[in-house]
Amino acid sequence: MALSKNVIENLEEAKGSLRAALAHAARSEKSNINYNISELLVAIDRIIKTEEFSDKLEDMIDKMKKDGNNGSSFFGGMF
C-alpha cells in the first residue's frame, strides 16, 4: 500500500526542516550532532524509497498472477 500523499508531504516537510537544522548545526555544533541529523534525513528517504520499491514489487507479483505466471520464470525456477 502506497504512502498517502499527506504522509509524503509531511515527510518532505520534515526533510526540509532537518536540512535547515543541519545547515545551522554545521556552523556551531559538534560533528556527532551533524551526523545524527544527516542519519535522520537518510532514514526518511529510506522510508519513502522502500515503500516505492515495495509497491513496484507488489505490482509485478500481481501482474504475474494475472498473467497466469506463478513467478517461476521470474525467479529462475528457484521456488
In a domain, 79, yes or no: no
Indicate whether 68 pLDDT > 80: no
**Do the domain assignments include residue 2?**
no
- Residues belonging to the chain: 79
* Domain interval for residue 18: 8-66
pLDDT in tens, 10-61: 999 999 999 999 999 999 999 999 999 999 999 999 999 998 888 888 888 8
Is residue 1 domain-resident? no
Quote the CA–CA distance of 27 and 43 in Å, as a whole number.
Answer: 23
Q: Answer yes or no: is 75 within a domain.
A: no
Q: Which three cell numbers stand for residue 65?
A: 498472477
The secondary structure of residue 29, as a DSSP letter, is S
Supply φ then ψ for residue 33, to 5 degrees: -65, -45
Q: What is the pLDDT of residue 77?
A: 53
Helices (H), the chain: 5-28, 31-66
41 or 2, higher pLDDT: 41
Number of domains present in the structure of the chain? 1
> Does the model's pTM come out above 0.75?
no
